[in-house]
Chain A
């Protein structure tokens, strides 16, 4: 996790807000550092995490996690982390006996209807423990990323329904949090992705949007991060609802600075 980002968002692992949906969105840049941030943040916050990782392998996230000070292997062993490795288990869909619906069952269907099996997986993973004793603070669902589901043939409305159900279960029923990543293709012709992105934006409480610089690649400024608080819990001045910073990704951290205030420029 990146302490500077925590400062910007005014959160710490000790007092994370509950019942919130955070939308991560990247346009013309790679926003996955935010996924790594929230993964390590919630593991450090002692939350039960269900991570639907469709883009990268477990070892990739584990290596980045180790740089940020968390071990995904041990978190998985002690039951804190439930990891759905999309790259591996997509193969299981085809080669396993078909007795119970696989979370990624939609891969087998000619016309992927809905993502109910994936939702059932999430609900099962984050279900409160039977023996009453709450070992973990609050459940958290992370998805990296939802745009991939569109590429796999699922419709935007089906993905929105999946998020809706996860929101009703994780955010509302279990008072947990959700963090999902969606790419902004910036392409007006990709209607499905636009519906998904806008629909999610309307559902979310906080939007973190990373963008590449309009002027192109730069060695010292990797992009800018726009923070938009929707539905603030206490009414704040609208001026504070939206903030924009530029950032530079370093080996183990990310530094944020006001626009045009890169140390390399000053």
Chain B
């Protein structure tokens, strides 16, 4: 069931040659093919969106990808806005940590503390500074997180910066040969409307949406390569304490027969003795029915219009045998 544990072999810069990917429908190949998930993810340059949710947090996958990049000898820049540097570096070996450059926007991003430690130009300034790097070789830039940036910066500015950042290797104006740049952006999906998310995803080469069942995490990967059809892939994995990925073949098979008793959702409307829902005909029949207390204009007319026999009607009174008829004038005492 558990696939080969990836011990993250160094990947040649650019990851060329490892791009063979299973067609949409999931990776159920042999171990060698399964390890392609990360390779193909990291093989592409450009922007990669990691879309996570409250339930399925994506920072560990981000750290796993960073570890993989660092092990292949790349310089990794991290724009950290959400967790402290210590917390981010926790769990990495020292040789990986040495390759990480942490740009700290956690401690004082808005310069409230006035310690003077705030990086000039804010996060956007740091990003543009990263654009102007000179050292050759591939670079990975991790944004932790894009959500923080989106909440504090205009979407258009951020998109332009990201575009400049991820496309600088294709820009011919720079004479020095710079290697591939890949940008990993963590995006908390619930925090943003469809507009900004759509704008970012149209910029992204790769999108990874995290999800899962009770016991396992899944990543839905969408890759857009130039002049090719986008590929979809679903990969099940879990992340080990040292931030290496343990890839798995598919959704856990034992979970449907033994669902967690705490999370079993019982629909209270399933076994009812009465009908809660109406079919279309039943609904129409109900809507067309006039209830006796409803006062309509026809009813009003019927009441106001005198009936045909009403003007000529009389009251006939026949006294009963035992009726006690009073012969006296009832108004006798009034003395009129």
Interface of A with B (CB < 8 Å)?
Answer: 114, 116, 119, 157, 160-161, 164-165, 168, 172, 191, 194-195, 198-199, 201-203, 207, 214-215, 228, 230-231, 234-235, 237-239, 242-245, 258-259
Contact = CB atoms under 8 A, between A and B. Distances in A.
A231 B112 CA distance: 27
Contacts, number: 77
26 contacts: A114-B110, A114-B112, A157-B151, A165-B112, A168-B84, A168-B107, A172-B87, A194-B190, A198-B191, A202-B145, A202-B191, A203-B82, A215-B268, A228-B54, A230-B54, A231-B59, A234-B241, A235-B241, A237-B215, A238-B214, A238-B217, A238-B238, A239-B214, A239-B215, A244-B263, A259-B262
A189 B268 CA distance: 27
A233 B60 CA distance: 12
A251 B34 CA distance: 57
Interface in B102-120: 106-110, 112
Contacts of B260: 239
A242 B263 contact: yes
A242 B188 CA distance: 20
Contacts of B107: 168, 172
Nearest to B90: A233
Contacts of A202: 54, 57, 82, 145, 147, 188, 191
A235 B268 contact: no
A227 to B, nearest CB: 10
Interface in B131-150: 145, 147
Nearest to B54: A201
Given A198-B191, A239-B260, A244-B263, A172 B84 contact: yes
Choose among B54, B86, B87, B263 the residue with the greatest number of A CB atoms under 10 Å from its CB: B54
Interface residues of B, number: 36
Contacts of A234: 241
A5 B152 CA distance: 37
Contacts of B216: 238
